[in-house]
Amino acid sequence: MQNFDIVVTGDCNLDLIFNQFDRLPKLGEEIIANQFELALGSSAGIVAAHMAALGARVAYVGAIGSDSFGEQFMAFLQSYGVCTDFMVEKAGFKTGCTVVMAKEEDRANLTHAGAMAELTPQDLPWHVIEKTPFFHMSNPYVLPLFRNELSALYQKLKESGTITSLDPQWDVNEQWDTNLKELLPVLDYFLPNNKELELLLAGNNLEQDALIAISSTQIIKTCGNKGVEIIQGNEIQQFKSYLNEQPVDCIGAGDAFTAGFLTATIEGKSLKEAINFGCKTGALSTTIEGGKVPYGSRKEFNDQFTKLF
């Protein structure tokens, strides 16, 4: 079997992105959009694509239907060099899909979760995970069968010696009730944005200071164009972003940051160096639309970053 640096899992959907239209259609109307794109969607899928483009050996696991959208999702990942051998097909379900109507910096999204929401912890390729040093999950709240299993999942990973990370993303049910006291001690890198961390702390009736008592987990809080804070022990370290004052949009910056951070961590870089590299990949992603991965290799990334920052 091939060796991997990381197994990435989580959400799994295509984006159908409509641009350049006068206004959103009302029920019963048809409006023409002058630009359209079929793109790789999903936070986890985008992290996997960025990481493979940056040079990491990535296996991605997500659930698709037995349909052409599932094939297309895998083709997008494969084009960056991501291994899709362990994808799970859910008979009777459609591959997840989001219709994105994008206007100026705002978007209206309509999602059919379909197969992606059927992924279970048992579907994960444990024989591969056991031989792979890193595991990352993104957007668990769109996977209902993981919602109450996160601590158990990360406990199992910790026992097998895997280094783990989790990007919670937005809780689509707005419950924010994941038990941080259980989860954080068995997780190595927690990667929420500032709003998500605030809501999770409120859902746990915890002040940020109380995180200190919970564990030695590295909590890496991203704060948009302000950069990143690492909260560990009783220390908070701040890192500035490579500011893009005129971003095309900031969608997917978090996924690009995570991919850069994890790739550098896998390469053995220090925590500070890895955060710095994540800030670079995050910043570059704000120079293009949506969650696109604008480079196919580390060299292309370096060339583009040097040109733009």
Binding site for Mg ion (CB under 5 A): 254
Of 118 and 255, which CB lies nearer to Mg ion in the complex structure?
A: 255
> Kindly report the CA angle at 196 between 293 and 10, in degrees rounded to 5?
50
Choose the one of ligand ATP, Mg ion, none that binds residue 162, judging by a C-beta under 5 to 8 angstroms depending on kind: none
Minimum Å distance from CB 307 to ligand ATP?
15
What percent of the residues of the chain are helix, what percent strand, and what percent coil, each to the nearest 5?
A: 40, 25, 40
CB-based contact 132:6 (threshold 8 Å): yes
Minimum Å distance from CB 14 to ligand ATP?
17
Minimum Å distance from CB 7 to ligand ATP?
20
Of 125 and 254, which CB lies nearer to Mg ion in the complex structure?
A: 254
Minimum Å distance from CB 252 to Mg ion?
9
CA dihedral over 238, 216, 148, 96, signed as positive or negative: positive
Choose the one of Mg ion, ligand ATP, none that binds residue 276, judging by a C-beta under 5 to 8 angstroms depending on kind: none
Of 224 and 294, which CB lies nearer to ligand ATP in the complex structure?
A: 224
Choose the one of Mg ion, ligand ATP, none that binds residue 126, judging by a C-beta under 5 to 8 angstroms depending on kind: none
Instruction: At 259, list the tokens.
Output: 């991919």
95/79 Cα distance (integer angstroms)? 19
Minimum Å distance from CB 166 to Mg ion?
11
- The binding site for ligand ATP (CB under 6 A) comprises 169, 193, 222-225, 227-228, 241-244, 247, 250-255, 257, 279, 282-283, 286
Q: How far apart are the first and last CA of the chain?
A: 40
Of 125 and 291, which CB lies nearer to ligand ATP in the complex structure?
A: 291
Q: What is the 3-state secondary structure (H, E, C) of 115-142?
A: HHHHCCHHHCCHHHHCCCCEEEEECHHH
Instruction: At 223, list the tokens.
Output: 């704060």
Minimum Å distance from CB 68 to ligand ATP?
27
CB-based contact 170:163 (threshold 8 Å): no
Of 65 and 254, which CB lies nearer to Mg ion in the complex structure?
A: 254
CB-based contact 200:180 (threshold 8 Å): yes
Of 128 and 264, which CB lies nearer to ligand ATP in the complex structure?
A: 264
CA dihedral over 75, 79, 80, 83, signed as positive or negative: positive
| Chain residue at closest Cβ approach to ligand ATP | 254
Choose the one of ligand ATP, Mg ion, none that binds residue 223, judging by a C-beta under 5 to 8 angstroms depending on kind: ligand ATP
